[in-house]
Amino acid sequence: MSFAGKVWRLLVGIKDGMSLVFLLLFFMALYAILTARPSPAQVREGALLLELDGVVVEEKAEIDPLTVLLSGEPPIAEFQARDLVHAIDEAATDDRVKAIVLDLTSFLGGGQVHLQDVGEALDRARAADKPVLTYAVAYGDDAMMLASHASEVWVDPLGGAIIAGPGGSNIYFGELLENLQVNAHIYKVGEYKSAVEPYSRSDMSPKARENYQALYGALWEEWQANVKKARPQIQLDRVTQQPVEWLEQAGGDMATAAMEAGLVDKLGSKTEFGERVAEIAGADTWDDTPGKYAHTELDPWLAEIEPEEPGKKIGVVTIAGTIVDGDAGPGTAGGDRIRDILLDALDEDLAALVVRVDSPGGSVTASEEIRRGILRHKAKDIPIVVSMANVAASGGYWVSTPADRIFAEPETITGSIGIFAVIPTFENAAAEWGIHADGVRTTPLSGQPDLIGGFTPEIETILQSSIENGYRDFLTRVAESRNMTPEQVDAVGQGRVWDGGTARQIGLVDQYGGLDDAVAWAAKQAKLEEGGWHLEYLGDDVQPFDSLIRQIVAGESARSGDIFAMVARREQALLARVANDVDRLLSVSGMQAYCLACPPSPEVQARAVEPKGWLARVFAFLS
């Protein structure tokens, strides 16, 4: 009995010890969650500091805690454009905010429409006599677009600025696939549908080149016009057309060259920049380190300025990222997820529905699921308006067809009305290794599609016919939406991509304007008085573990650096595009309404170059 009692007491002790450990861990986690949440109490008099160490997006991507914790690396920071605009607009009229500071040292970019929206908010702040100061080690195109709206632009003496303009190279696998004896079966409709060209060619087709030149030319003109308007002293022609001569005249010193060309105003270290901000906003009374200044960060500021919610609801559903089948997202437009969000919102008595689109498209079936969800709201006889952000092309335009009115910006990329599918087969490669397929068929479709034995002519015809039927459906939806004939839509379709300005001229867009303009139009159509409504972002759930996860894996950012670091990131992004192209070829997917001519979004490029631990790579492979 004595021995049994001792064993029992040992087991009870182990149980009590484990209970205490778990309780301790529970309360530690609870404390971390509570303290990780931003609080309005953290708002201080001084500067509003926007440390943009990531990308500006339409919708933040969901963080997978397991993958992040296994990788040991913090996820790429994402800043919703609407949050930045709201924060800046509120700061413009708040006496506690003495200046607005943008730290762009680790800025990874954003879409042209988003950056223009943020830039306009900075202009409004300056008009309200709020100084706007920016600092970076190296300015690229996107950072320069924001910095051009500042009253003072600082750069590190060891840094500089470089403007490259839109465009660049795509990677083509046609000859490689031929050498590997992989047959890429391509089914498409659209003379300009260049999304399939990497798998069939070794260079860009003349039609695709024509489309790219027109699109990027329009975007470049808009970029230059916006930057020159915001910063008249800038010598853009000298910087972009004669970059070698421009740099040589400054003795190879990129920081000096940037200042002489009007890209920046002052050279200085981050400490010197901070001392300048302290002259305006006040010194930091909590930290007397040189270069520290009184400031409030973005998250507590947003918590302080949460908007009121008077009157009726105008719903906003966000379709951001590639459109895919399933529940993916936020940050990716999972068709089932967005359909369910729209279904749940049917009970919310919305006065109007605004569809915010920032997507290059993707799955046809997922796009149709989303379209049907929007139509259910339209059946309730409420106004439906689409607001296009940076990209609303292909499947992104498909989901826009139920709209009563479509708003876009001149920099918006839209159109790409076309459909394709790519299926690889390996009969020739298999034969090289002595692998052959044989069997018995009862019909021409028995065992088809056969990735090793090859496709029969019948299955080839059926697949192409399905694509052509899908294209006819696309034309019909656009024609009914835009009061055009299918023939008229086909003339501006064929997979061709348009900038927002041209899209308005050819009838694919109704008028220029951003999200605020679209909401105002919807409120007017719903006969709502000013102040008698508020926005309800559908499915906009807060991620409670976001801040906690970032704290756990926080470390020194590996994304800051000089011009060479910027070049390295672009090279990594190019390699990531290659991986995405290969994945698109080999992945199991249906008909695609996807725009490859659209520039890859900054958040996709940023996520692609995000460092991964070896354990995370193994986990991703196994999952």
Q: Which residues pair with 138 in a beta bridge?
A: 160
- Comparing CA positions, the residue from 384, 162, 387 lying closest to residue 255 is 162
Query: Packing angle between helix 112-127 and helix 81-92, nearest 10 degrees?
Result: 10
In degrees, to the nearest 5, what angle opens at C-alpha 390 toward C-alphas 101 and 63? 70
Q: Which one of 71, 193, 313, 367 is the catalytic residue? A: 193
Sign of the CA dihedral 194, 198, 200, 201?
Answer: positive
- Beta strands in 37-192, from DSSP E residues, in sequence order: 46-51, 54-57, 77-80, 97-103, 109-110, 132-139, 152-161, 183-189
Question: Residue 185, Cα to own-chain centre: how many angstroms?
Answer: 30
- Comparing CA positions, the residue from 258, 368, 301, 353 lying closest to residue 100 is 301
Backbone angles phi, psi at 537, to 5 degrees: -80, 110
Question: Residue 187, Cα to own-chain centre: how many angstroms?
Answer: 28
Q: Which one of 106, 394, 589, 601 is the catalytic residue? A: 394
d(CA 307, CA 86): 9
Q: Which amino acid is at 124?
A: R
- Comparing CA positions, the residue from 369, 415, 373 lying closest to residue 392 is 415
Q: Look at residue 603 in the predicted model and tell me its pLDDT.
A: 57
CB 589 within 8 A of CB 354: no
312-537 is classed CATH 3.30.450.20: no
- Comparing CA positions, the residue from 148, 182, 179 lying closest to residue 163 is 148
For residue 8, count CB atoms less than 10 angstroms from its CB and return exposed for 0-12, middle for 13-18, buried for 19 or more. exposed
How does strand 384-393 pair with strand 413-415?
A: parallel
CB 274 within 8 A of CB 51: no
Domain edges within the chain? 43-165+214-304, 312-537
List alpha helices for 37-59, DSSP H. none
d(CA 282, CA 55): 29
Q: Which residues pair with 139 in a beta bridge?
A: 161
d(CA 264, CA 261): 8
> Could you tell me which residues come within 8 angstroms of residue 196 by beta carbon, excluding any fewer than 6 positions away?
186, 188, 420, 422
Known catalytic residue at 229: no
Known catalytic residue at 193: yes
Q: How distant, in Å, are the alpha carbons of 86, 149, 228, 230, 358 from that of 123?
A: 13, 6, 13, 8, 24
d(CA 280, CA 267): 18
Class of domain 43-165+214-304 (CATH, top level) = alpha beta
d(CA 358, CA 297): 27
**DSSP type of residue 42:** G
d(CA 350, CA 383): 10
**DSSP type of residue 623:** -
Q: Which amino acid is at 407?
A: F
- Comparing CA positions, the residue from 456, 436, 434 lying closest to residue 447 is 456
- Reduced to 3 states (helix: H, G, I; strand: E, B; else coil), residue 325 is coil
For residue 21, the tally of other CB atoms under 10 A from its CB is 10
Residues of the chain predicted below pLDDT 70: 1-8, 10, 12, 15-17, 20-41, 64-74, 192-193, 541-590, 596-597, 599-623
Tell me if domain 43-165+214-304 and domain 312-537 are identical in fold. Answer: yes
pTM given for the model:
0.84
d(CA 483, CA 34): 53
**DSSP type of residue 379:** T
Q: How distant, in Å, are the alpha carbons of 181, 240, 294, 427, 459 from that of 430?
A: 9, 50, 67, 5, 20
d(CA 483, CA 479): 6
The token pair that represents 420 in the structure block: 């394709």
